[in-house]
Amino acid sequence: MPSLGFDPDYQRAIAPYASFPKLHPKNVLDLRHLNNTAISYVMQTVPCDEADQIIEATHPYTTTDGDTVTLHRFTPKAKQNTIDPQPAILYLHGGGLVSGSVGLFRRDIIHYAALTQTTIFAPGYRLAPEAWYPKPLEDVWCALNYIKDHSWELNIDEARLALYGVSAGGGLAAGTALMARDKGLTPPLKMVVLVYPMLDDRTKLPEGDATRPYLTWSEDKNEMGWGAYLAWMGGEMDDYAAPGRAEDLSGMPKLYVDVGQLDLYNKESKAFAEKAEAAGGEVEFHEYTGVPHAWEWLAPNVPVTKRAVENRVRALREL
């Protein structure tokens, strides 16, 4: 096993952040404020020179409980007048289930839409604690079905749909994929991409774990996020809520997973990929040495970030 420590290029890239104080949220709403502020700040470093290449639109849709949620669409200009139905990606932003938004992740979405030359949809799914499980997951499920139900007018090929989930969005993507399998979604999803996904509410590092000093997303924050999301479960749990608990991963779409070596979600990401592969699934897994959770937004130009982006884009281009 590689020794622990930051990747040298990453460490140099984050040097300007060294003097920033580590903030410890007092409650879930405090976590939301701090996390949104941090996301807004670091996202300014994400390349977004391609914004003029992307056409943006919004589509309101109705979720299971009757609320209206906005589905954002990002279409490469080069693809807007194509005759043949095109593949599409449903992008689920991160934020620990209690923070984040499509607006905060807009630069990242535009970047991937341009690099893949694929239309990306992104639902503004509701957040805990105001919207606890299963509401955020149902928002994603309804967004997926909206795309399928309107595929003709959106010029989307239903047989070439991928879920792309980042962090908390990765957990929602995995839960949605399990739901799609169990409900017999037809045609089935083509691919699920999980970027350092938040999968298992039981995750806890052992005492003295050498990874802990390097974490950018701590156990305390993780517990706050899961606690808010699962507040009304009453001790009951299902695989859609916390996909890391799922034992049967047979019949899943092609799965792509990546995670940093110094990420709180490292072990649960590996375990999910291994279970899917053991169940006979097609799995591609990448572990990036010397980087923590969400490292690429702190260091978008270092080699390890470029490798990760290249791998994700290559996988998505297979749609």
pLDDT (tens digit per residue) in 244-292: 999 999 999 999 999 999 999 999 999 999 999 999 999 999 999 999 9
CA trace torsion 198, 202, 208, 211 (10° rounding): -10
Domains of the chain: residue spans and CATH: 8-316 (3.40.50.1820)
Tell me what pLDDT residue 200 has. Answer: 97
- Strand partners for 156: 86
Q: How far apart (Å, rounded) are the C-alpha atoms in residues 131 and 231?
A: 10
Tell me what pLDDT residue 146 has. Answer: 98
Tell me what pLDDT residue 89 has. Answer: 98
Q: Is the distance from CB of 178 to CB of 246 less than 8 angstroms?
A: yes
Rounded mean pLDDT, 100-106: 98
171 CB neighbour count, 10 Å cutoff: 33
Residue with tokens 């309107």: 150
Tell me what pLDDT residue 235 has. Answer: 63
Tell me what pLDDT residue 234 has. Answer: 67
Going by pLDDT thresholds of 50, 70 and 90, the confidence category of residue 236 is: confident
Tell me what pLDDT residue 57 has. Answer: 98
How many CA atoms does the CB half-sphere of 177 hold within 13 Å? 36
The proportion of the chain whose per-residue pLDDT surpasses 90, expressed as a percent, equals: 90
270 CB neighbour count, 10 Å cutoff: 14
Q: How far apart (Å, rounded) are the C-alpha atoms in residues 314 and 5?
A: 28
Rounded mean pLDDT, 130-138: 97
Tell me what pLDDT residue 17 has. Answer: 86
Q: What is the pLDDT of residues 154-211, one digit of tens each?
A: 999 999 999 999 999 999 999 999 999 999 999 999 999 999 999 999 999 999 999 9
Tell whether the model's pLDDT for residue 1 goes beyond 80: no
Q: What is the mean pLDDT of the chain?
A: 95
Tell me what pLDDT residue 81 has. Answer: 85
3-class SS string, 10-57:
HHHHCHHHCCCCCCCCCCHHHHHHHHHHHHHHHHHHCCCCCHHHEEEE
Tell me what pLDDT residue 49 has. Answer: 86
| Minimum mean pLDDT range among 11-20, 56-65, 80-89, 130-139 | 11-20
Q: How far apart (Å, rounded) are the C-alpha atoms in residues 18 and 128?
A: 31
Tell me what pLDDT residue 2 has. Answer: 55
Closest CA to 29 of 234, 228, 230, 233: 228
Q: Is the distance from CB of 109 to CB of 116 less than 8 angstroms?
A: no
